[in-house]
């Protein structure tokens, strides 16, 4: 069994909870209150900035060129195409870039981004990529698991948002990312217990991110 598959299997109890989080289920069914999705969009934009920085750090690690190339390609895509898509999404939600830039990251969002940046700054290339894997992979699994719920979804915005993660292009990007991690681990090894803990922590943060958005989390003081 390849590393990525082994990690998901070991932590399947956590992983499957991502697939059925209330935020996810209500979004795919078209029942999610728009203010919760608006809150998510603002927080996710800030998260993506952290993801771009984390991928940039990954690209600077001592690693085969293919790893640096893939990390830079993903960072460039997020910083250009994905950010432009988000700007369009924000307009549909009645938000401006000023609204997003002025918004303070929620506690969970701040902690998740700090975890990614710290892992990528101090860890190996495999540890860095594993820390980012649940974000990429879980959105694909969530989409595949909940695609049937889209059939009765009458909210066009939600259907278009979900369709991105059901696309062949997104699926190929996830497969490419997983394959790189698997190859690097086979070639250079690594401490499996450390990688397992990193994957588990990132998966927890993915769940907490949905919970944060569903509850529209604020700083308590």
Residue with tokens 């209150």: 33
Q: Is the pLDDT of residue 186 over 80?
A: yes
**DSSP output for 155-202:** -HHHHHHHHHHHSHHHHHHHHHHHHHHHHHHHHH---HHHHHHHHHHH
Segment 72-85, tens digit of pLDDT: 999 988 888 888 88
Segment 96-117, tens digit of pLDDT: 888 888 899 999 999 999 999 9
3-state secondary structure of 97: helix
Question: Going from the N-terminus, what domains does the chain have, and what CATH number goes with each?
Answer: 3-215 (1.20.910.10)
Which of 83-97, 130-144, 149-163 comes out lowest in average pLDDT? 83-97
Q: Is the pLDDT of residue 21 over 90?
A: yes
């Amino acid at each position: 069994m390849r590393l990525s598959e082994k990690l998901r299997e070991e932590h399947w109890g956590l992983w499957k909870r991502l697939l059925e989080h209330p935020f996810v289920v209500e979004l795919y069914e078209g029942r999610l209150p728009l203010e919760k999705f608006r809150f998510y969009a603002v927080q996710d934009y800030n998260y993506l900035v952290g993801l771009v920085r984390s991928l940039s750090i990954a690209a600077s690690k001592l690693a085969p060129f293919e790893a640096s190339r893939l990390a830079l390609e993903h960072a460039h895509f997020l910083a250009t195409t994905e950010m432009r898509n988000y700007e369009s999404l924000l307009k549909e939600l009645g938000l401006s870039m000023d609204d997003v830039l002025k918004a303070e990251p929620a506690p969970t969002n701040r902690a998740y981004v700090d975890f990614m940046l710290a892992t990528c700054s101090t860890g190996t290339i495999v540890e860095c990529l594993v820390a980012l894997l649940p974000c990429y992979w879980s959105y694909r699994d969530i989409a595949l698991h909940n695609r049937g719920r889209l059939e009765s979804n009458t909210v066009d915005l939600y259907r278009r948002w979900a369709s991105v993660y059901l696309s062949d292009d997104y699926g190929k990007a996830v497969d490419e990312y997983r394959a790189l991690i698997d190859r690097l681990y086979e070639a250079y090894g690594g401490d499996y217990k450390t990688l397992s803990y990193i994957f588990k922590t990132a998966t927890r943060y993915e769940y907490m991110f949905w919970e944060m958005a569903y509850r529209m989390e604020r700083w308590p003081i």
